[in-house]
Amino acid sequence: MQTPGPGQQRQSARKKRDSVTTGSFYSLFESEVPEREIIASGAILLRRFAFESASELMRDLDWISAAAPFRHMITPGGFRMSVGMTNCGYAGWISDRKGYRYDSRDPLSGKPWPVMPESFRLLAHSAATEAGYPDFVSDACLINRYEPGARLTLHQDRNEQDYTAPIVSVSLGLPAVFQFGGNSRKDKVRRFKLESGDVVVWGRESRLAYHGVAALKDGDHPLTGRCRINLTFRKAL
Ligand code: MD3
Ligand code: FE
């Protein structure tokens, strides 16, 4: 038998959970919590897609952050970002007084970023496949750590070479309010709650949409403690 991918594990676990926690009565409400929601054209939310892989992702994150610690980068304008960041893969996103860009090395150590673990690669690939991007190969994973009060102001992700590739994001730990606008900064912003295990695939018409994260509310999560972790998988090179 083939080893199930994270998506398959999730589906069987979800069926099991639903058969235990929902009976015929609650199944009436299943349509209100769809596991797959199109939030904009090109943007697909896969609720709890990474739920079963979450503890393995967190274990792999431990050795990544031991080799390349979370740090608060400085924006070109001289501000310290409230979100702590690190990277793994062939390239990592960095910011300093000189600008935003990808670099194959961690500026703190001068060494290449940690290798992208197999757990990360498999999850990103299976989510992208589920969302209609079976050819997605990510060469960079930016890892964001939000502590209470940390936020990310509205921005576009434009430092990647190829906008035809989607970005896959994985939320772990405390919930966050995600702000999603349009392709112009003036477009109205919609808000979504992203919870632990939620995966969103952002491609095509949504690839250059403005987005941000509201200040993280304090809390305590069994997986991460008092923080939220977000993994964003990109094709940067
Ligand atoms: C929509 N991170 O790292 S992930 C970022 O939760 C970033 O840490 C947020 O925005 C976070 O750049 C949001 C969701 C996300 C990522 C990339 C996108 C949404 C996107 C690119 C285009 C459109
Ligand atoms: Fe972004």
Q: What is the mean pLDDT of residues 106-126?
A: 98
For residue 150 and ligand 1, the question of a CB distance below 6 A is answered with: no
Band (13; pLDDT cuts 50, 70, 90): very low
Tens-digit pLDDT profile for residues 181-220: 999 999 999 999 999 999 999 999 999 999 999 999 999 9
For residue 202 and ligand 1, the question of a CB distance below 6 A is answered with: yes
**Domain chopping of the chain, boundaries:** 35-64+118-234
For residue 144 and ligand 1, the question of a CB distance below 6 A is answered with: yes
Among 46, 138, 144, 224, say which to mutate for ligand 1: greatest number of ligand atoms within 8 Å of CB: 144
29 or 139, greater pLDDT: 139
Structure tokens at 102: 């990808």
For residue 28, how far is its CA from the centre of ligand 1 (angstroms)? Answer: 33
For residue 210, how far is its CA from the centre of ligand 2 (angstroms)? Answer: 8
Torsion 220-224-226-228 (CA) sign: negative
**pLDDT at site 33:** 53
Residues β-bridged to residue 221: 225
For residue 198 and ligand 1, the question of a CB distance below 6 A is answered with: no
Backbone angles phi, psi at 36, to 5 degrees: -135, 120
Listed range (12-26, 64-78, 99-113) with the worst mean pLDDT: 12-26
For residue 63, how far is its CA from the centre of ligand 2 (angstroms)? Answer: 24
Q: Is the pLDDT of residue 66 over 60?
A: yes
**pLDDT at site 199:** 98
Measure the CA–CA gap between 8 and 17, rounded to whole angstroms.
14
Structure tokens at 97: 């007084």
* Other beta carbons less than 10 A from residue 170's beta carbon: 27
Q: Which CATH number fits domain 35-64+118-234: 2.60.120.590, 3.40.630.30, 3.40.50.11030, 2.60.260.20?
A: 2.60.120.590
Structure tokens at 35: 């596991």
Burial 190-220 (b: 16+ CB within 10 A, else e): eebebbbbbbbbbbbebbebbbebeebeeee
Q: What is the mean pLDDT of residues 6-18?
A: 42
* Other beta carbons less than 10 A from residue 47's beta carbon: 18
